[in-house]
């Protein structure tokens, strides 16, 4: 008998959409033709198990067996394997290209900000300045003018936002979808006073990006908050995935795999809204 909570999840979010699977399947590495051991659980079922963990923050060993995901170790190993193959970053890039083709990316400006989360240890953790110096990490995010996530970087909680400005800008993947060269640079970058840095402003101008960043000790730029609210909205969407609200993975690359998958799902939802 399927538990009520599991039944609700299956009906609402438990299956991978056929169109989404058609996009992700070609990116997955193939299995050897003569691999030892029993026949592995299908990739699509493992992806559903990974999504279950991402949505519900379930421990790997507590995955509901009635859903047929296999053991938690099966899904964990598949997540690790796919992250090493760059599957989740590629799917995010493909979906950004689809949004560009649909005219849903706003390159006129990009917004940056950071958000603290608790962490249970591992690499890229440090004393959180907003949580009584408990171990934590920080998500540094850059999104377009409509709040679509372009790049997320995970650092220790005590890393200053300003140190990740250029890393976020340079980390935007080349986004195709329109005739001409893939685009990687917004026209302007919006940030609060935590990103105040004259050297960074010079580097942004060198990249042909207009810095719109408030200066410390001066009044905020007028109406800047009305344009930057989208980055807070995107953080809310990211941390709605419970696995990202608290970091359990000690290995940063596995936590980043969940982040890239969440960014892909956000892009997928926005793409579906554009379709009739």
Whole-model pTM over 0.95 = no
Query: According to the model, what pLDDT value does residue 13 have?
Result: 47
Tokens of 87: 């599957």
Bridge partners of 276, per DSSP, are none
What average pLDDT is seen over the chain?
87
Radius of gyration over every alpha carbon of the chain, rounded to an integer in angstroms: 20
Task: Identify which of 21, 42, 45 has the alpha carbon closest to the alpha carbon of residue 268.
Answer: 21
| Dihedral of alpha carbons 258, 118, 135, 141, sign | positive
Nearest to 243 by CA among 5, 12, 56: 56
pLDDT surpasses 80 at 109? yes
Percent of the chain whose pLDDT exceeds 70: 91
Q: What was the pLDDT predicted at 67?
A: 77
Helix (H, G, I), strand (E, B) or coil at 156: strand
CB of 111 within 8 A of CB of 117? Answer: no
Please check the confidence at residue 159 and state whether its pLDDT lies above 70: yes
User: Given this model, what pLDDT does residue 36 score?
Assistant: 63
Closest CA to 56 of 245, 266, 188: 245
Q: Which domains does the chain have, with CATH numbers?
A: 4-25+40-84 (no CATH), 106-245 (3.30.420.10)
Calculate mean pLDDT across residues 226-250: 91
Range with the lowest mean pLDDT among 37-41, 79-83, 98-102, 165-169? 37-41
DSSP states along 96-131: HHHHHHTT---TT-EEEEEEEEEE-SSSS-EE-TTT
Pairing, β 210-213 against β 188-191? parallel
Average pLDDT over residues 45-74: 86
14-48 pLDDT, tens digit per residue, is 568 889 999 999 999 987 766 665 567 888 888 99
CA neighbours within 13 Å on the CB side: how many for 14?
14
* Structure letter (DSSP) for residue 175: B
């Amino acid at each position: 008998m399927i538990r009520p909570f599991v039944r609700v999840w299956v009906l609402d979010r438990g299956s991978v959409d056929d169109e989404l699977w058609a996009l992700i399947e070609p990116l997955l590495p193939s299995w050897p033709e003569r691999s030892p051991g029993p026949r592995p659980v299908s990739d699509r079922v493992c992806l559903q198990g990974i999504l279950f963990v991402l949505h519900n923050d379930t421990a790997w060993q507590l995955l509901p067996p009635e859903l047929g995901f296999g053991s938690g170790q099966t899904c964990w190993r598949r997540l690790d394997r796919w992250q090493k193959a760059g599957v989740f970053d590629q799917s995010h890039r493909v979906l950004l290209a689809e949004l560009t083709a649909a005219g849903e990316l706003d390159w006129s400006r990009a917004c940056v900000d950071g958000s603290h989360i608790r962490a249970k240890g591992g690499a890229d953790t440090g004393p959180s300045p907003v949580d009584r110096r408990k171990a934590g990490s920080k998500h540094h995010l850059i999104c377009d003018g409509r709040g679509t996530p372009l790049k997320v970087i995970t650092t220790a909680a005590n890393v200053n936002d300003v140190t990740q400005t250029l890393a976020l800008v340079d980390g935007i993947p080349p986004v195709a979808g329109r005739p001409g060269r893939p685009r990687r640079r917004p026209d302007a970058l919006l940030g609060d006073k935590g990103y105040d840095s004259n050297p960074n402003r010079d580097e942004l101008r060198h990249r042909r990006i207009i810095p719109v960043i408030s200066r410390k000790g001066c009044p905020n730029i007028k109406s800047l908050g009305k344009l930057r609210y989208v980055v807070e909205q995107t953080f809310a969407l990211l941390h709605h995935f419970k696995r990202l609200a608290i970091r359990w993975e000690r290995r940063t690359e596995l936590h980043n795999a969940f982040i890239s998958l969440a960014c892909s799902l956000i892009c997928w939802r926005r793409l579906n809204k554009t379709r009739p």
